[in-house]
Amino acid sequence: MENKTMESQKFAGDTKISGSLLSKYEQEITKKYVSKIPKYIETHHLTLTTILWSLLIIVFSYLAKGDINWLWLVSLMIFFQYITDLFDGAVGRFRKTGLIKWGYYMDHFLDYIFLCSIIIGYSFILPDHFKYLLLLILTIFGAFMVNSYLSFAATNEFKIYYLKLGPTEIRIMFILINTMLVVFGKTYLGATLPYILGLSLLGLVIVVYRTQKYIWKIDMSKKIK
């Protein structure tokens, strides 16, 4: 009986709940331009391009060791990944390709790979004594992702934003960091890492507290019934 109930429950992994600062504008963009994506470009093509963007981020970041201006291309790869990530799910829904669970799995696994590529890239540029901070930042950012997936498993609601900040705002942050690195030099990022780490940790604590409180409420509502 329980298995039948689970099978009958609609998978909501393709329906992201986003209340981030820019989500409204993103929805308008995808609605306006999704039909203009060439037919030979399928949803899985867009998803898998994250592998290419991630590899190029690592390459360009390594080259930035010698010439910091390579970070402009790193920022360009972040922008390209944003575009392909914005439209992969939209193309799938518009064309009804049926790759719902595959798209959920690959899209978010590759999002983690993409995040790792950026952190690896910064490890090439910064002095060795800052690398433990990068590891902690990767751990915390990864914890945000884990929170989303566990919360989705418990509620069947897939939330991709935290405290009004979502993947788009995080990408903008990385692009701004790259710009500041080019303009002001490598010491800028090293000086700001402790603040990024502290704010990220505080945000994670708030998000986890709110998430567990919401799930507790769901459990208790079922118990009362």
Question: Would residue 104 count as lying in a domain?
Answer: yes
Question: Would residue 29 count as lying in a domain?
Answer: yes
Tell me: the pLDDT tens digits for 22-54? 777 878 888 888 888 898 889 989 999 999 999
Average pLDDT over residues 196-207: 88
- Phi and psi for 56 in degrees, rounded to 5? -70, -35
Question: Would residue 4 count as lying in a domain?
Answer: no
The CB density around residue 122, as the number of other CB atoms within 10 Å, is: 26
Has residue 1 got a pLDDT over 50? no
Question: Would residue 85 count as lying in a domain?
Answer: yes
Average pLDDT over residues 185-196: 74
Question: Would residue 6 count as lying in a domain?
Answer: no
Cα–Cα distances (Å) from 54 to 24, 70, 101, in that order, read 27, 15, 22
Q: Chain-wide mean pLDDT for the chain?
A: 84
Has residue 174 got a pLDDT over 50? yes
DSSP secondary structure letter of residue 67? -
Has residue 7 got a pLDDT over 50? no
Tell me: the pLDDT tens digits for 57-88? 999 999 999 999 999 999 999 999 999 998 88
CA 88, CA 99: separation in Å to the nearest integer? 11
The pLDDT of residue 70: 95
Q: Which one is predicted more confidently, 185 or 152?
A: 152
Question: Would residue 5 count as lying in a domain?
Answer: no
CATH code at 180? Answer: 1.20.120.1760
Where do the H-state alpha helices sit in 34-166?
43-63, 71-95, 100-125, 131-155
Question: Would residue 2 count as lying in a domain?
Answer: no
Question: Would residue 9 count as lying in a domain?
Answer: no
CA 100, CA 14: separation in Å to the nearest integer? 6
Residue 8 pLDDT level (bands cut at 50, 70, 90): very low
Tell me: the pLDDT tens digits for 82-118? 999 988 888 888 888 878 889 889 988 999 999 999 9
Domain count, the chain: 1
**Which structural domain range is residue 66 located in?**
17-218
Average pLDDT over residues 213-219: 89
CA 217, CA 143: separation in Å to the nearest integer? 22
What are 20's two structure tokens?
Answer: 């981030």
